[in-house]
Amino acid sequence: MSDPDPSGSSLLVQILVLVLLTAINAFFASAEMAIVSVNKNKINMMAEEGNKRALMAQALLKEPTKFLSTIQVAITLAGFFASAFAATGIAERLGDFFSSYDWPYSYQIALVLITVALSYFTLVFGELVPKRIALQKAESVSLFAARPVAAVSKIAYPFVKLLSVSTRLVLRIFGMHHEKLEEQVTEEEIKSMIETGQEAGVFNEYEKTLIESIFEFDDILAKEIMTSRTDVYAIDINDPLSEYVDELLASRRSRIPVYDDEIDNIIGILYMKDFYLQARRVGFENVQIRPILHKPYFVPESKNIDELFKELQNSKQYMAVLIDEYGGFSGIVTIEDLVEEVMGPIDDMGDIIESTIEKIDSRTYMLNGLVYIDDINDALGLKIESENHDTLSGLLLDIIGVIPEEDDRRVLSVDNLIFEVLEIKEKRITKTKLTILDEAEAEEAAERAEQ
């Protein structure tokens, strides 16, 4: 019995070695793609839960230069040995085969053919297919590959260290730092994910716009979103209150800038809540504005709005008064303006419920039934108590005890307050007239009610 053909066995071994080297190339190519594209938040969460593979993947993500150098060393070595085996073994045998037919340049032709064939199989099975699989299963592939990649990183440490140092040196020559590059990649990655998510239907257009607004928030200056001085409603401390009290009450603003003679000389901010409290005690015509003014919060108009937002939060301020480069009054920015830069336009409650509180005279008001009781208390300086109801309509319906007919026009008394129901729609009180009685009138009304 004859021995097996040694040349055939040798060729089989060489082919198996090439398959093994291509598989090694495929493993590291898929590991690179998976770890680069994996959801880092998921890996961090799994690492916090104690997953050992996730901890290794997390360590690789923290040192991308070292990780990429390890991958490159492994892929380069696999490709080098594959080319060497193909050139010295298979190409030589194929050249001998061509020589038997007296082909010219038989060995050169064989080398070119084997190189092309090896490149094709390496690209398809060692690069493209494994990377496509890694993209679809980034999390599982990265967890599977983390331990072997970490082991190779330790074994090939001298080469990896040399490549890492060389990479950083070249970056510095070009005026770049790898830490900054990683931060930029992270932000670009988020923006790319948002774009992809919106196209795939994960985010709607509003959510995409909202997230993009957050990124742009630190690039906007206060003067770009301010209400300019020509559009600001402000009052002169020297003008008699009687000249502007009606306009003041109709302005529907919670805070009013106050100046002395010239608009550039802002001396304080009038809180309408304080104004109503004073008016409740002394009457609207007798309120003294200066003692209840709050100190204005001055900022340069060139201030970045993300810094301004933090300052207003920390100082518990609602409004900032902007000053231009010459020290003059430029405009105002409110917390609402800043929030609208991210969330979009916000309608005031006064825009949603028209004429929520309308002043008739110093002690008579028209109220919308849907107004919140807390808002009435704040605006008029009252102390209406209601633990079970938020709106005026709910409170009055509870006092009545039944659902009134739409033509019901009863009058209700709560302490020194007289509520006259004027309109009922869809089982809700929608319009009411409020009269505030003084102590004598309240006692007289109570006596009449007892009789």
Whether 19 and 158 map to the same domain: the answer is: yes
In this structure, is residue 97 part of a structural domain? yes
Q: Which pLDDT does position 256 carry in this prediction? A: 92
430, 368 contact by CB (below 8 A): yes
In this structure, is residue 368 part of a structural domain? yes
Q: Which pLDDT does position 381 carry in this prediction? A: 84
Q: Which pLDDT does position 298 carry in this prediction? A: 95
| Maximum CA extent, the chain | 133
203, 194 contact by CB (below 8 A): yes
Whether 307 and 232 map to the same domain: the answer is: yes
Q: Which pLDDT does position 408 carry in this prediction? A: 85
Residue type, 66: K
Write the pLDDT tens digit of every residue in 130-181.
889 988 888 888 889 888 888 888 887 777 778 778 877 887 888 766 555 4
Q: Which pLDDT does position 269 carry in this prediction? A: 94
Nearest CA-CA partner of 336 in 323, 352, 354, 349: 349
Whether 341 and 374 map to the same domain: the answer is: no
Q: Domain ends where: 154, 176, 198?
A: 176
Nearest CA-CA partner of 298 in 315, 274, 322, 318: 322
Domain count, the chain: 3
How far is Cα 213 from Cα 309, in angstroms, rounded to an integer? Answer: 14
Strands 235-236 and 293-294: unpaired
Whether 23 and 153 map to the same domain: the answer is: yes
In this structure, is residue 358 part of a structural domain? yes
Whether 417 and 276 map to the same domain: the answer is: no
271, 254 contact by CB (below 8 A): yes
Q: Which pLDDT does position 6 carry in this prediction? A: 46
State CA 115 to chain mean position distance. 51
pTM here is: 0.43
Whether 355 and 266 map to the same domain: the answer is: no
Write the pLDDT tens digit of every residue in 320-367.
999 998 889 999 999 888 888 777 666 554 444 445 788 888 889 999
Question: In angstroms, what CA-CA distances link 56 with 137, 148, 270, 449?
Answer: 18, 10, 59, 81
How far is Cα 23 from Cα 31, in angstroms, rounded to an integer? Answer: 12
Phi, psi of 315 (to 5 degrees): -90, 0
Whether 324 and 357 map to the same domain: the answer is: no
Question: In angstroms, what CA-CA distances link 342 with 191, 320, 326, 338, 437?
Answer: 16, 18, 30, 7, 45
Query: CATH number for the domain including 226?
Result: 3.10.580.10
Nearest CA-CA partner of 434 in 412, 409, 406, 449: 412
Q: Domain ends where: 176, 199, 233?
A: 176
How far is Cα 256 from Cα 232, in angstroms, rounded to an integer? Answer: 9
In this structure, is residue 242 part of a structural domain? yes
User: Among all chains, which residue has been given the structure tokens 């901890």?
Assistant: 55
Q: Domain ends where: 161, 176, 191?
A: 176
State CA 295 to chain mean position distance. 32
Whether 21 and 161 map to the same domain: the answer is: yes
Q: Which pLDDT does position 87 carry in this prediction? A: 60
Q: Which pLDDT does position 451 carry in this prediction? A: 52
> Half-sphere exposure of 95 toward its Cβ, with a 13 Å CA cutoff?
17
In this structure, is residue 209 part of a structural domain? no
Can you point out the beta strands (E) in 304-427?
A: 319-323, 329-334, 357-361, 364-368, 411-414, 417-425
In this structure, is residue 425 part of a structural domain? yes
How far is Cα 68 from Cα 61, in angstroms, rounded to an integer? Answer: 10
The whole domain housing 369 covers 350-450
Q: Which pLDDT does position 2 carry in this prediction? A: 46
Which residue ranges of the chain lie beneath pLDDT 70?
A: 1-9, 11, 84-97, 102, 107, 176-191, 197-198, 200-203, 206, 215, 344-355, 442-451
The DSSP secondary structure of 300-322, one letter per residue, reads ETT-BHHHHHHHHHHHT-SEEEE
Whether 70 and 53 map to the same domain: the answer is: yes
Whether 227 and 107 map to the same domain: the answer is: no
Helix (H) or strand (E) holding 228: strand 227-228
How far is Cα 280 from Cα 411, in angstroms, rounded to an integer? Answer: 23
In this structure, is residue 185 part of a structural domain? no
Q: Which pLDDT does position 369 carry in this prediction? A: 85
In three-state secondary structure terms, 220 is coil
In this structure, is residue 182 part of a structural domain? no
Tokens of 446: 């109570």
Query: CATH number for the domain including 366?
Result: 3.30.465.10
Segments in 156-285 forming alpha helices (H): 157-173, 178-200, 205-216, 222-225, 241-250, 272-282
118: exposed, middle or buried (Cβ count in 10 Å: 0-12, 13-18, 19+): buried
